[in-house]
Amino acid sequence: MKVFQLQKDLKNYLKINKINDKSIGFVPTMGALHDGHLALVKSSLKDNDFTVVSIFVNPTQFDNKDDLKKYPRTLKNDLDALKSVDKNIIVYTPIATDIYEGEVKSKHFDFDGLENEMEGKHRKGHFDGVGTIVKKLFEIVEPDKAYFGEKDFQQLQIIKKLVEKEKMNIQIVPISIFREADGLAMSSRNKRLTKKHREIAPFIHQILLDTQKMWQSSSIEEIIKYVENCFAKQPLLELEYFEIADEKTLIPSKQKINGNKYRGFIVVHAGDVRLIDNIGY
Ligand code: AMP
């Protein structure tokens, strides 16, 4: 398996191999790979001649220094996991100063307001960091298709907007959320849960499933109240936000409008671990 650290080496390698119209699929990750990540990788392998997976804990998208410091880094295991899926995967593990070409800093992006809702409100500068790194990665890898998980639904919509605004010829392929057997959305952060928090964490998905059952017969206000009450009675989990928003604009809705598609978005703290999930209605 080829592993590159420097952008010029990866670019040279891809240039040599991209002859004869071969297609490139790309899966950007922050590592600590789990089966959710591997599902994205497998989709890319199925659709493309080459698959590039990047592993980079991008400092500029973290608004919280402690979260960045504690983010799991398991490169050796990640490389083994990728190798066991396919030995021909091309791995890119950038060095911050090389990919940022000097100062490790975000640029500012306008994603037509998508960046101001939910995660944008709660994690200042997060989507500038995401936009900056994904744009750089796209320029280096020049993929035909790039794969993103619906687990980070707002990020997925923002990447679609980035490609549209920057006029990049890349197809963004959404992949549905992979869950543990008990319903907890797979996440690199799950590794950091204590035993008691890991046991209670599937509660998040159970409540989301309840809201899905309530969707036809209840108002948005009633559903939000229900979720807030459930978490108020659950001392091990602290609700940061639950919002129901239009899937396209991500603007939180108070009322359902016929023909629009809605999704419930949730962030919960389990001890010092921040967990994110969502569900479609
Ligand atoms: P991350 O390493 O957390 O930045 O995630 C890399 C990519 O994997 C993103 O597009 C995520 O949305 C996606 N991803 C992470 N967890 C899951 C999951 N449980 N199911 C599907 N996709 C996921």
Rounded Cα–Cα distance for residues 172 and 144 (Å): 9
Residue whose Cα lies nearest atom 6 of ligand 1: it is 29
Indicate whether 242 pLDDT > 90: yes
The β-bridge partners of 173 are 147
Taking the centre of ligand 1 as the mean of its atom positions, its distance from the CA of residue 101, in whole angstroms, is 26
pLDDT of residue 18: 77
Nearest-CA residue for ligand 1 atom 12 is: 149
Determine how β-strand 237-246 pairs with β-strand 171-175: unpaired
Range with the poorest average pLDDT among 15-24, 217-226, 231-240: 15-24
Rounded distance from Cα 184 to ligand 1 centre (Å): 13
Q: How far is CA 76 from the centre of its chain?
A: 22
If one compares 102 and 134, the residue with the highest pLDDT of the two is 134
In short, whether 177's Cβ falls inside 6 Å of ligand 1 is yes
33 C-alpha to ligand 1 centroid (Å) = 9
- By CB atoms closer than 10 A (0-12, 13-18, 19+), residue 102 is exposed
Q: Is 94 in the pocket of ligand 1 (CB under 6 A)?
A: no
CA–CA gap between residue 181 and residue 203 (Å, rounded): 13
Asked about 269 being catalytic, the answer comes back as: no
Is the CB of 100 within 6 Å of ligand 1?
A: no
Give the pLDDT mean for 71-80.
96
Stretch 209-229: mean pLDDT: 98
In which region does residue 271 sit, left (phi positive, over 0), alpha (psi from -120 to 50) or beta (all else)?
left
SS3 content of the chain, % helix, strand, coil (to 5): 45, 20, 35
CA-proximal residue: ligand 1, atom 7 (nearest) = 29
> By CB neighbour count within 10 A (0-12 exposed, 13-18 middle, 19+ buried), where does 261 fall?
exposed
Say if ligand 1 is within 6 A of residue 172 CB: no
Q: Is 19 a residue whose pLDDT tops 80? A: no
Q: Is 137 in the pocket of ligand 1 (CB under 6 A)?
A: no
Annotate 39-87 with DSSP letters as a single string.
Answer: HHHHHHHHH-SEEEEEE---GGG-S-HHHHHHS---HHHHHHHHHHH-T
How many percent of the chain have pLDDT more than 70?
Answer: 99
Distance set, CA 96 to CA 2, 59, 102 (Å): 19, 8, 8
Q: Determine whether the shortest distance from the Cβ of 43 to ligand 1 is under 6 A.
A: no
Regarding pTM above 0.85, the answer is: yes
Please choose, from the candidates 177, 204, 176, 175, the residue with its C-alpha nearest in 3D space to the C-alpha of residue 274: 204
pLDDT of residue 17: 81
Instruction: Say which residue the tokens 């991008």 belong to.
Output: 58
pLDDT-derived band at 21, boundaries 50, 70, 90: confident
What does the pLDDT average to over 183-190? 96
Q: Is residue 189 scored above 90 in pLDDT?
A: yes
pLDDT tens per residue across span 84-100: 999 999 999 999 999 99
Catalytic residue among 37, 126, 197, 205: 37
Asked if residue 128 has pLDDT above 90, the reply is yes
What does the DSSP 8-state code read for residue 102?
S
- Write down the mean pLDDT value for the chain: 96
Range in 53-57, 60-64, 171-175, 192-196 the model is least confident about: 60-64
Q: Which among 276, 65, 280 is positioned nearest to 190, based on CA atoms? A: 276
pLDDT above 90 (res 16): no
**C-alpha of residue 228 to centroid of ligand 1, in Å:** 26
CA of residue 31 to ligand 1 center, whole Å: 10
